[in-house]
Structure 1
Amino acid sequence: MAYKETFNISGENLLKKVKELFNEANVTKITIADKNEREIISFPVSLGLVGLFLAPIFAAVGAIAAIVTDCKIIVERKDEEPKTEEKVNAEPVNEDSNPLV
């Protein structure tokens, strides 16, 4: 199951934050939006991305940072561990069936 997290950030810190997010293992997608939440750019994040493919992404993010003052980063993450509910096996207690009475 995936969940989203939003960061409000200034343009000057945008590239630094995107680089941090690329290093987090559970991030699957990064979207950069303006302060009115209109999408500017969106890109998937995978562990297989190498520097050759990251350079154009970082260049685009750097260009966006130069023209926007405030923006939002919307991060989609996958859960680290699937959440499971523990079921307790309990049988109903019947007071009439007590063998000690």
Structure 2
Amino acid sequence: MAIKESFTLKGENLLRKVKELIEEGNIRRITVSDKEGKELITFPVTIGVVAAVIAPVLAAVGALAAFVGECTITVEREEETT
């Protein structure tokens, strides 16, 4: 089962937040939506993802950040097992 969490932020902070989330390592999927809730980009984040694979996604997120004023990131996390 996955846990969803959302963050609302300004476009200029989008790329930094996505990078932080990827570095956490327990993320399954990231979705970026505009302030009206329209989905702009969704991408899976797999375990062991290498920089060469994620670089094009980060480039797209960076370009997107230049055009959106406010956006919401929805993160689907792996449920931690205890």
Q: Which runs of 4+ in 1 moved over 4 A?
A: none
Pairing 1:73–2:73 present: yes
Q: Which has the higher contact order (CA 8 A, sep 6+)?
A: 2
Equivalent residue for 2:9?
Answer: 9
Q: Which one has a bigger Cα radius of gyration? A: 1
RMSD: 1.0
1:34-65, Cα deviation, whole Å (9 max, x unpaired): 01111000000012211111110110000000
Q: Which runs of 5+ in 1 are unaligned?
A: 83-101
Q: Which runs of 5+ in 2 are unaligned?
A: none
Equivalent residue for 1:38?
Answer: 38
Q: Percent identity?
A: 54
Number of residue pairs matched by the alignment: 82
User: How far apart are residue 13 of structure 1 and its match?
Assistant: 0.3
TM-score when scaled to structure 1? 0.77
